[in-house]
Amino acid sequence: MAGLLDPGRWLPLDWVLAVAASWLLVGVLGLFALRRLGWVAKVLFPAGGAIALGLFAVAGATMFSAPQHAVLPLGLPGLPFHFRLDPLAGFFLMVIGAASAGVSAFAAGYFRKGEGTPPGLLCFEYHLFLASMTLVVVADDAYAFMVMWETMALSSFFLVIANHRIAEIRQAGYLYLLIAHVGAIGILLAFGVLQANTGDYTFANMRAQQLAPFWGSVAFLLALFGFGAKAGIVPLHVWLPEAHPAAPSPVSALMSGVMLKTAIYGLLRVTFDLLHVQLWWWGVLLLALGLATAVFGIVFAAVQVDMKRLLAYSSIENIGLVFAGIGLAVLFSAYGMKPMSALALTAALYHVASHAFFKSLLFVGTGSVLHATGQRSLGKLGGLIRYMPWVAWLTLVGTLASAGLPPLGGFVSEWLLLQSFLFTPGLPSSFLNMLIPVVAALIALVAALSGYTMVKFFGVIFLGQPREEHLVGAHRAGGWERGGMLWLALGCVALGLLPVQFIQLIDNVTRQLVGFGLGRTAAGSGWLLVPVDIERASYGPVVFLVGLAASFALAFLLVRRLYHGRLRRAAPWDCGYPWQTARMQDTAEGFGQPIRQIFEPFFRMQRELPSPFDREPRYRVVVGDHFWHWIYQPVADLVERLSRWIGRLQQGRIAVYLLYSFLTLVGVLLVVRR
Amino acid sequence: MSVLGSLSQLLEIVVALLLAPLLVGWVNQWRAWLQNKSAPGLLQPYRVLHKLFNKESVVAQHASPLFRSAPYIVFSCMLLASAIIPTLSTDLPLAPAADAIALVGLFALARVFMSLAAMDVGTAFGTMGARREMLIGFLAEPALLMVLFSASLIPKSTSLATIVETLAHRDLAIYPSLAFAGVAFTMISLAENARVPVDNPATHLELTMIHEALILEYSGRHLALLEWAASLKLFAYSCLGLALFLPWGVAEAHAPLTLVLALPVLVLKLATGGIVLAFMETANAKMRIFRVPEFLGTAFLLAVIGVLVYILLGV
């Protein structure tokens, strides 16, 4: 911190702190222009986006350098904030910077007047949210971590309820706040265990402690609970499908694309950095939870009829996949198999990055659709590729990446994950060896189902004929919106085509966490991605894409050259049926029907089927979540009953309250003696 | 990248392009014979392709560019797939670019574009076909991956060339894990290639069709490309099955002369396989769409059992 006044000598960590500070500054400037939308949208949000790009660059530059420390005399006297920038933090900062740059650019064109919270306040909350996420990642003591964590939760809560005049949105925000805080308790307690009665809450001290396996496990379980609640691990996922649709689209994009990743960061920090020894059953637990979450999330995503809820469930699925990867890494690490552990961890981190891009892209895409049509329900959309081609084609990139299709980003992480499953035989426990292929089968199922879901998502919104008449007037997205989406789409493509280069970056993280990196093997083979050995497996996305593009071009040219390119436009054929209307297309319910039938035990369904004699037949199906009825509803009922019971104390008469005080005083005097 | 490697790569692509319609013609001929019908000529698929390419393409008024580009994308995917699978030789320059998992991804990419294009015009049959195609896809894809996994456990590699080389040099015996995988693979190929009992390539009965519903709106050169792609897919699946379960006769890098022998061997294997396929299609009836999950679920379980058998017993 010596050269604080001379920016030429700033360390990267100083720059990161400067980024957080300038985000705060942008936010505060927004407070001064509370209702001046033009100023907020056209100056402040782009400035925030530029700062995000700066964060991306700074974090990228630090990936190869040694950890740096800083102590800021903020907060309570004698309890300063410690900060530390290491490759793990640097990787997550890159993700935060890159994804939020696109989202901020999009937000510059997104926010409108008269949507609840005034734009200036929204700008403040938004940039506070970004700054707190940045600082969570570089925090190096439990105190700073928790302060930033809570700031993150609170600022995002206020962002979720931006449209607070709608009762459902307030309810969703409340649920989010509740679960965020239940989770925060878990994290706080985990730090309490980790400091091992030394009273020193810096991470440096926690690293120095050697915990007994029992206390290590307690700390791990508490951290898993706390970070799992934030990440949306089953059964703590219930807030996600409520909060994400409620929030404005750029906020949903940030929450889903970036904020969930801070929970992954926290889990990695505690499991691999603060704890030294990993036990094998932690890995199995993480793997089981991750897979359950992934299967649950994607099955629910496939039957949703609200486009943002669909994406929220798909986020649950992706977080589940990341957890499964981390679980595998813990398992390998517990048995001392470092290369395999590094492979699984690389897969998880790669998925973190690609999910940040494609999910942000998809969420902001739904934002454009929402603004153009005013509809969130899939059943009332359709045919938008003709009215908003930019949004449609850019969203298609995100859709393909999300479906895990080559040669985009989502496929690389799934490929790496499957590779790490495939080379598990070799674990010392035969029971685990037997379990692994079943697990790989589940991952394959999840990947295939996400293809189904994404075809439904894209097809119902953008393809076909408009299901409502007013959709014909859907307006195109503005330049800022397109620019933001383009950046995110380019991210998806770059992650898909340049896995070798990105793994060079991730290499530093896995070296730090498990003591091994894939960088060297990956770099040795040029354009091919080779995780272990070229004889074993390789994947060359660039060759793949060039092959596809070349045969596309060749087929196109040859058909034109040898035959012709004549084309005639006519009415759709549809087996010669002339009276077809847009209502005869599959609805979102119809598209989800096979999934509802095959995975029926997953859902809590209420169906209203019309009888053949109904004059006005109505079909209604409500798909509910078992966990809500099994866990949350009983707890809520219990709390309500208890509070009603306690509520009897409230009589509203002052004499009664004086009696309570008197009785309390007597009670205290009886207990407390000198 | 050796000269011979490039040569065999090129040969493989050309052979795939030329032989794929012939395989379809062969299967159709045999099926007609088995069903006591007079069969169309062996070259009928080529005549159909030629006719379709000559016709003008009729496209729905509001179809988007996605609709028009999908046939080319699907065709390129299938062509790349047949270039990657070691049908004639394992010495392929393109093979390291995509292993078994990427191959499944390639088929999935084609399927997704196919379904999206079917939804684009927005007719009742198109969307229904897309839904059913994706239903079959999400059931068949994990099963196919498990089949490929059980094959890749033996050489500890997902590279198709390595798998085929290793399998070709083993003793001639029945390996339980591969036997399970083989049965599963047969079931998956029937589903993926829109064959009886999952779909019927000969039907145009509206309510039962899947693949035909997807391509209902296409005509002219677009339809020709899709038909060609479908035959390439059948060819690729057949070659994949032959390469995994009957890998003998495929040429290798260190023995270039075997390439001369590889083509007749392949034709012989494909001809036999075509007759078997025609028999299976004649002996079975098409099943209801909601029996398909059971059918493919069985395939999935068989493939998982194959993997487990290998891991537990090592054979």
Q: What percent of chain B has pLDDT over 90?
A: 60
Put simply, the answer to whether B135 touches A562 (Cβ < 8 Å) is no
Any CB–CB contact under 8 A between A572 and chain B? yes
Give the confidence band of B91 by pLDDT, cuts at 50, 70, 90. Answer: confident
| Residue from the list A406, A543, A590 with its beta carbon closest to the beta carbon of B109 | A406
* Averaged pLDDT, A144-154: 95
A558 touches chain B (CB under 8 A): no
* Cα-based distances in Å from A589 to A241, A460, A596, B111: 18, 10, 9, 21
Going by pLDDT thresholds of 50, 70 and 90, the confidence category of residue A674 is low
Residue A137 has pLDDT above 90, yes or no: yes
What proportion of chain A, given as a percentage, has pLDDT over 70? 97
Nearest CA among A176, A204, A201, A322 for reference residue A257: A322
Torsion sign, CA atoms A7, A56, A340, B154: negative
Contact B294, B155 (CB under 8 A): no
- pLDDT 10s digits, A229-271: 999 998 999 999 999 999 999 999 999 999 999 999 999 999 9
Asked if B101 has any chain A CB less than 8 Å from its own CB, the reply is yes
Cβ contact A563–B293 (<8 Å): no
CB-based contact B72 A448, cutoff 8 Å: no
Q: How far apart are CA A592 and CA B131, in angstroms?
A: 8
pLDDT digits (tens, 9 = 90+) for A578-607: 888 888 888 888 898 889 989 999 999 888
Task: Kindly indicate the confidence band of residue A1, based on its pLDDT and cuts at 50, 70 and 90.
Answer: very low
| pLDDT value for A4 | 59
**Tell me, what's the pLDDT at B312?**
81
Residue B257 Cα, gap to closest chain A Cα (Å): 23
Greater confidence, A1 or A427? Answer: A427
Please give the structure tokens belonging to residue A334.
């517990």
Residues of chain B contacting A594 with CB distance shorter than 8 Å: 131-132, 135, 290, 293
B311/A433 touch (CB, cutoff 8 Å), yes or no: yes
Average pLDDT over residues B212-234: 94
Which residue blocks in chain B are alpha helix, DSSP H? 3-34, 44-54, 65-84, 100-120, 124-152, 160-168, 176-192, 211-214, 220-245, 258-283, 292-313
pLDDT digits (tens, 9 = 90+) for A358-409: 999 999 999 999 989 888 888 889 899 999 999 999 999 999 999 999 999 8
Query: A405-442, pLDDT tens digit by residue?
Result: 999 989 999 999 998 887 766 778 777 887 877 888 89
Report which of A273, A235, A240, A233 is spatially closest to residue A257, judged by C-alpha positions. Answer: A240
Average pLDDT over residues A208-228: 94
Q: Which of residues 427-466 of A touch B (CB under 8 A)?
A: 430, 433-434, 437-438, 440-441, 444-445, 447-449, 451-452, 454-456, 458-460, 463-465
C-beta separation of B271 from B264 below 8 A: no
pLDDT range class, residue A609, cuts 50, 70, 90? confident
A82 phi/psi in degrees, rounded to 5:
-100, 140
Q: Is the pLDDT of residue B204 over 80?
A: no
Which of A552, A580, A598 is closest, CB to CB, to B73? Answer: A552
Q: Are the CB atoms for A383 and A390 separated by under 8 Å? A: no
Contact between A625 and A300 under an 8 Å Cβ cutoff? The reply is: yes
- Interface contact A567-B57, CB threshold 8 A: yes
B313 lies within 8 A of chain A by CB? no
Q: Which residue bears the tokens 């505060």?
A: A28
- Chain B residues inside the 8 Å CB shell of A580: 123-124
- State the average pLDDT over residues B113-141: 92
- Answer positive or negative: Cα dihedral of B232, B234, B235, B240: positive
Query: What is the structure's pLDDT at A293?
Result: 96
Top pLDDT among A529 and B244 is at B244
Q: Is B14 on the interface with A (CB under 8 A)?
A: no
User: Do A407 and A497 meet the contact criterion of CB atoms below 8 Å apart?
Assistant: yes
Examine the pLDDT at A115 and tell me if it is beyond 70: no
Q: Answer whether A377's CB lies under 8 Å from B56's CB.
A: no
**Cis preceding-peptide flag for A250 (omega within 30 of 0):** no
- Reported confidence tier of residue A41, pLDDT bands at 50, 70, 90: confident
Contact A437 B54 (CB under 8 A): no
Q: Tell me which of A405, A424, A445, A455 to substitute to probe the interface with B (most B C-beta atoms closer than 10 Å).
A: A455
The three-class DSSP label of residue A403 is: coil
Cβ atoms of B100 and B158 within 8 Å: the answer is yes
CB within 8 Å: B139 and A448: yes
- Amino acid A49: pLDDT: 94
Burial of A379 (0-12, 13-18, 19+ CB in 10 A): middle
Residue A653 has pLDDT above 80, yes or no: yes
SS3 (DSSP) at A531: coil
Residue A5: per-residue pLDDT: 62
Distance CA A559, CA A251 (A): 47
How confident is the model at residue B36, as a pLDDT?
93
pLDDT(A38) > 90:
no
**Interchain contact, A406 vs B142, CB within 8 Å:** no
The C-alpha atoms of residue A178 and residue A157 are separated, in whole angstroms, by 10
Nearest Cα of chain A lies from the Cα of B267 at a distance, in angstroms, of 25
CA distance B197 to B200: 7
Q: From chain B, pick out residues whose CB is under 8 angstroms from the CB of A409.
A: none
Rg (CA), chain B: 19
Question: What residues form DSSP beta bridges with A484?
Answer: none
Q: Residue B3: is its pLDDT beyond 70?
A: yes
Tokens for A642, please give them.
Answer: 């208890």
Q: Which of A132-146, A474-488, A508-522 has the lowest mean pLDDT?
A: A508-522
Q: How far is A515 from chain B (nearest CA, A)?
A: 24
Asked if A556 has any chain B CB less than 8 Å from its own CB, the reply is yes
User: Nearest CA to CA, how far is B7 from chain A (Å)?
Assistant: 16
**What gap in Å lies between CA A403 and CA B134, rounded to an integer?**
12
d(C-alpha A397, C-alpha A429), whole Å: 42
Residues of A (583-622) whose Cβ lies below 8 Å from B: 584-586, 590-591, 593-594, 597-598
In chain A, residues with a C-beta closer than 8 Å to the C-beta of B225 are: 555, 559
Q: Is A67 exposed, middle or buried (0-12, 13-18, 19+ CB in 10 A)?
A: middle
- Predicted local confidence at residue A39, as pLDDT: 86
Strand pairing report for A603-608 and A620-625: antiparallel
Asked if A296 and A259 touch (Cβ cutoff 8 Å), the reply is no
Q: Do A585 and B225 touch (CB under 8 A)?
A: no
The beta-carbon neighbor of A538 closest among B77, B83, B99 is B99
How far, in Å, CA of A668 to CA of B206, rounded?
82
Residue partners of A529: CB distance under 8 A and separation at least 6: A412, A415, A499, A500, A503, A522, A538, A539, A540, A541
Express each pLDDT in A53-97 by its tens digit: 999 999 988 888 888 888 888 777 888 899 999 999 999 999 999
> Does residue A197 register a pLDDT over 70?
yes
pTM of the predicted model, to two decimals? 0.94
Q: Check if the beta carbon of residue A444 is closer than 8 Å to that of residue A418.
A: yes
DSSP A65: S
How far apart, in whole angstroms, are the C-alpha atoms of residue B86 and residue B11? 11
pLDDT at B18: 95
With vertex at residue A407, the alpha carbon angle to CA A53 and CA B189, rounded to the nearest 5 degrees, is 155
Mean pLDDT estimate for chain A: 90
pLDDT band at A526 (very low <50, low <70, confident <90, very high): low
Mean predicted confidence (pLDDT) in B114-130: 91
Contact call for A538 and B293, based on CB within 8 A: no
Determine whether B85 is exposed, middle or buried from the number of CB atoms within 10 Å of its CB (0-12, 13-18, 19+).
buried
Query: Does residue B126 belong to the interface with chain A, where contact is any CB pair within 8 Å?
Result: yes
Question: In A79-166, which ranges are continuous DSSP H helix?
Answer: 87-110, 119-138, 142-160
Long-range contact pairs involving B168-176 (C-beta distance under 8 Å, separation at least 24): B168/B247, B168/B248, B168/B250, B168/B252, B175/B315, B176/B306, B176/B309, B176/B313, B176/B315
Q: Which of A113-127, A627-641, B192-206, B301-315 has the highest mean pLDDT?
A: A627-641
- Is residue A575's pLDDT more than 90? no
Q: Are A362 and A435 in contact (CB under 8 A)?
A: no
CB pairs under 8 A between A and B: 264
Instruction: Give strand pairing partners of B54.
Output: none
Spell out the SS3 assignment of A313-371.
Answer: HHHHHHHHHHHHHHHHHHHHHHCCCHHHHHHHHHHHHHHHHHHHHHHHHHHHHHHHHHH
Digit-coded pLDDT (tens) for A266-300:
999 999 999 988 999 999 999 999 999 999 999 99
User: How far apart, in whole angstroms, are the C-alpha atoms of residue B109 and residue A233?
Assistant: 29
Residue A352 pLDDT more than 60?
yes
d(CA A112, CA A42): 12
Confirm or reject contact between B89 and chain A (CB < 8 A): no
